[in-house]
Amino acid sequence: MRAILSVWLFAALPLVYAAFWMEEIAHQGIAAFNPDKTYTVFRNVRDYGAKGDGIIDDTAAINAAISAGNRCGGYGCVGATISPAIVYFPPGTYLITNPIVGLFYTQIIGDPNDMPVIKGASTFPGGKALLDADPYLSNGKLNYISTNVFFRQVRNIVFDTTAIPYEVWAVHWPSAQATVIHNCVFKLSPNFEEGHTGIYMEEGSGGMLTDLVFYGGQYGAQFGSQQYTVRNLTFSGSQTAILQIWNWGFTYKSLSINNCEIGLNMSSPDVGSVTVLDSSFTDVGTAIIVGRYNSSATGLGSLLIQNVKYTNVPTVMGNLDGDAILAGNPSGAVFEYGYAKGNLYSPEGPSVFQGRDIPFDQPSALKLQDQYQYYERSKPQYEDYPASSFLSARSYHATGDGSTDDTKALNDLFQAAASSSTNIAFLDAGYYLVTDTVYIPANARIVGEGLSSVIMGAGEKFSDVSNPYPVVQIGQPGEVGYIEMSDIIVSTQGPTAGAIAIQYNLKTPTLGGQVTASTPPSGLWDVHVRFGGFGGSKLQVADCPITPDITNVIEPACIAGYMSMHITSNAGNLYMENNWLWVADHDIEDWNQTRIDVFVGRGLLIEGSNIWLVGNAVEHHTLYQYQLVNATDIWMGQIQTETPYYQPNPQAPYPFTQLNADLYDPDFITDCPTTSAGTVDQLPGNAPCAMAWALRILGSKDVMVFGAGLYSFFNNYSTNCSTNRAGENCQARIMWIQDGIGTEVLGSTSGLQVYNLNTIGSVSMVTSKGQDMAIWDQTIATYASTVGIFRNDGVNVSAMA
């Protein structure tokens, strides 16, 4: 009876089917700083002549939809924020005979209720990609520098290469921060000799990949990038599910690899570190292939595995010669609670470590009740909601034109969204200039249009460095409730030295400290902070040139912010995925990618509890990128930082000389016991110490870091300090751990577990209670040095293995 009923319900669905809200709503988004006032952000490929019938060649129509307006690509343009596009695909099968070329700042989005298929014709050229995010030019170079391919999404698309009888990639994805491929399916040839690959990524500095399904292919995916966070990927019937071409650090969470010859081949000598969590390998010949490692580079190929199930897997780990290093069970299940290979600091080290069945501590507050996996949740797309549920910012009289004050309109909009359980605030594409705080109350759900919706603080209220003031405030201090926000950028214009881009105060209820399906954490997906370097910011090449020759002279108008984001002490239960808090190091609009100097004091300060940072990067803030103070139960998986390129000219904290004790600002004079030359006595290399911290942890408990890339490439714009292997010395120290601060007594920092920590340019990799625990040349890996395990929780890992 029940089965019949569910069949009937399923059959009834098409009767109520309507197009995805994103297709149906009025399209009122604008590109505020584009000189062409008729420029269109939202493009439905059908309006450009695509048929989606699977017969007619839609290549030209789709490329016309992408390139309409004066967009960035192919003629010298290497970046632009003023010409964003959302290219929308209604249901259908779109046959293509040549690549679809993704220009800068393009979001390719399909109907998630009936996912469109992009199908390569049998005549599709070999060696190319159905969707090429960054094509090779005739000079053999990528059109866009891969590490500057920002602000891209591909969502809800089925890529089908099965008609093509030779080598082809579904998506070519050299990519950097604020990019994601989300909810896509890759249908590849089951004939491995045909050489298909789902995602081909050979360069970049990402990024996030999530909710992807791959069928067939010689390779489901080939990944090479500095770092990436990869979550919820399923592979079936690939010869090799994932070929890791190279990396410094990749974090894989919730992989499901089924019926493949090889799961993850990470044997390349250019692979620094891999973290695999909460995954399963079923009917796989060899789950993981590792390489032959150089005994002088003991950090290479660091590997951390937690909570992985192998079912009918004869070899869990094999080497390049096909020998088994770890056996599995050809007809049964093996569960791996914890495996690690790499240099161990516990907290002293290093010792070369390799071990299986390690009972790693796993804080239950970071897991869904009753489950062994760490909590995870995908970006809501509201696909079950009709267009009428979306409250447009335009209907609330917000102009988004980058010059009208939209403060009141946005506050009204967010109040309205919060007061209804069926409404969602929709921020049509545009720049919403605000002169006072925008308050987002509990129960609000907010979604932007692609990545083209920017809330931009400007004016006096944000300009006083001794009176920091939030641009966007999520919850008032002490407020309890739940919010969802996605696809929004928070930013500023001009001199706003007191601006805190996002202040997050909300405490989201749990069931006795535990997240459950009915009490999920609040979420911020693809919510980014961007200071300077974009058209309309008044912080571009002409405004904020670099000042290498003039020590300590800073244009006051280029002091752009106080802090990117503050998660305050009452805040709790927040899930963040794919967020990039960026102080511009170059002007995106400039065709030479010219460097600029924009100053923002602090990156992400976390004082709350139960926070997940899944795919998270914070770059170029003056005092620190991440600072955790009295924080508890924090999950960080692949985090990434960069120290400002100008330091130590001037050194930290300049120009933020007024330290804020309430925020536990670092005191570089106390923390850098220096010689008169400004260097740390006991460390080699004469490296400057008063440099931004990448990660500073004070009095915090149960902090889990599953992959970190903390980079310091420059001194006074020169990379000599990071490229000269004889002495990695851009900065003395980069990661700092302590208990209390000053006279303030916080608890001790305890239960800290860091896996696959990659640093570049710092002499000391971890400094704990004033002691330098790991030095870069003890654990050489790739271009980065890699610590496999650092723990200060008093557990002797060696004894457990």
Ligand X SMILES: *[C@@H]1O[C@H](CO)[C@@H](O)[C@H](O)[C@H]1NC(C)=O
Q: Is 265 in the site for ligand X (CB under 6 A)?
A: yes
In the complex, least distance from residue 551 CB atom to ligand X, rounded to whole angstroms: 5
Residue of 205, 193, 44, 86 lying closest to 134 (CA atoms): 205
CA distance linking residue 186 with residue 209, whole number of Å: 13
User: By CB under 6 A, which span of 95-103, 274-282, 659-667, 713-721 interacts with ligand X?
Assistant: 713-721
- Contact segment (CB under 6 A) with ligand X among 383-391, 394-402, 584-592, 613-621 equals 584-592
**What are the backbone angles phi and psi of residue 671, rounded to the nearest 5°?**
-80, -10
Piece in contact with ligand X (CB under 6 A), picked from 25-33, 37-45, 290-298, 575-583: 290-298
**Burial of 126: CB neighbours in 10 Å, binned 0-12, 13-18, 19+:** exposed
Radius of gyration of the chain from Cα atoms? 25
Provide the mask over 145-184, with x wherever binding to ligand X is found by CB under 6 A and - wherever it is not: --------------------------------------x-
Helical (H) or strand (E) element with 670: helix 668-671
Which of these ranges, 438-446, 498-506, 670-678, 715-723, lies near ligand X under the rule CB under 6 A? 715-723
Q: Residue for token digits 């979001």?
A: 107
Question: Which C-beta is closer to ligand X: that of 630 or that of 767?
Answer: 630
Tell me the torsion sign for CA atoms 132, 136, 138, 143: positive
> Which lies closer to ligand X via its Cβ, residue 713 or residue 717?
717
Q: For ligand X, which is the closer residue by CB, 537 or 700?
A: 700
User: Three-state SS across 191-229?
Assistant: CHHHCEEEEEECCECCCEEEEEEEECCCEEEEEEEEEEE
796 binds ligand X (CB under 6 A): yes
Q: Which residue's CB is nearer to ligand X, number 470 or number 650?
A: 650
Rounded to a whole number of angstroms, the minimum distance from the CB of residue 285 to ligand X is: 9
Contact 602, 627 (CB under 8 A): yes
Question: 272-286 burial string, b = 16+ CB within 10 Å, else e?
Answer: bbbbbbbbbbbebbb
Which lies closer to ligand X via its Cβ, residue 260 or residue 424? 260
Q: Which stretch binds ligand X (CB under 6 A): 17-25, 262-270, 359-367, 395-403?
A: 262-270
Kindly report the backbone phi and psi dihedral angles of residue 449, in degrees, each rounded to the nearest multiple of 5, phi listed first. -100, 105
* Contact call for residue 91 and ligand X (CB under 6 A): no
Between CA 27 and CA 85 the distance in angstroms is 12
**Contact call for residue 771 and ligand X (CB under 6 A):** no
588 contributes a contact to ligand X by CB under 6 A: no
Q: Give yes or no for residue 378 binding ligand X (CB under 6 A).
A: yes
| 294 contributes a contact to ligand X by CB under 6 A | yes
Q: Which stretch binds ligand X (CB under 6 A): 38-46, 386-394, 417-425, 791-799?
A: 791-799
Q: 294 or 771, CB closer to ligand X?
A: 294
Tokens 């014709």: give the residue.
121
Asked if residues 229 and 207 have their Cβ atoms less than 8 Å apart, the reply is: yes
Report if residue 280 touches ligand X, rule: CB under 6 A: no
Query: Which lies closer to ligand X via its Cβ, residue 241 or residue 409?
Result: 241
Question: Is residue 798 near ligand X by the rule CB under 6 A?
Answer: yes
268, 510, 514, 674: which one contacts ligand X (CB under 6 A)? 268
DSSP secondary structure, 585-604, as one string:
SB-TTSTT--BB--EEEEEE
How far is 340 from 403, CA to CA, in rounded Å? 54
Q: How many residues does the chain have?
A: 801
* Bond into 653 cis (ω within 30): yes
Q: How far is the CB of 539 from ligand X (least distance, A)?
A: 17
- Give the Cα separation of 393 and 406 in Å (integer): 10
Q: Quick one: tokens of 284? A: 């796989």
For residue 768, CA distances in Å to 228, 363, 661 come to 27, 22, 21
765 part of the interface to ligand X, by CB under 6 A: no
- The least CB distance from residue 382 to ligand X, in Å, is 15
CB of 11 to ligand X, least distance (A): 21
Report in angstroms how near the CB of residue 731 gets to ligand X at its nearest. 14
Report the distance separating Cα 350 and Cα 790, nearest Å.
9
The answer to whether residue 449 forms part of the interface with ligand X (CB under 6 A) is no
Q: Say how far apart CA 772 and CA 559 lie, in whole Å.
A: 32
**Which of 388, 682, 720, 771 is the binder for ligand X (CB under 6 A)?**
720
Binding flag, residue 296, ligand X (CB under 6 A): yes
Contact 485, 462 (CB under 8 A): no
Residues in 198-227 that interact with ligand X by CB under 6 A: 211, 213
Residue from 63, 156, 392, 649 in contact with ligand X (CB under 6 A) = 649
> Among candidates 738, 745, 587, 611, which has minimal Cα distance to 671?
738
Among 411, 625, 632, 731, binds ligand X (CB under 6 A): 632
Q: How far is the CB of 724 from ligand X (least distance, A)?
A: 8
Check binding of 545 to ligand X (CB under 6 A): no
How many chain residues bind ligand X (CB under 6 A)? 35
Q: Which is nearer to ligand X, 150 or 186 (CB)?
A: 186
Given its phi and psi angles, is residue 315 left (phi above 0), alpha (psi -120 to 50 degrees) or beta? beta
> Considering beta carbons, is residue 43 or 696 the nearer one to ligand X?
696
CB count, 10 Å around CB of 148?
18
Q: Is 35 exposed, middle or buried (0-12, 13-18, 19+ CB in 10 A)?
A: exposed
Q: Which residues bind ligand X (CB under 6 A)?
A: 183, 211, 213, 232, 240, 262, 265, 267-268, 289, 294, 296-297, 376, 378, 548-549, 551, 569, 590-592, 630, 632, 649, 716-718, 720, 744, 746, 780, 796, 798-799
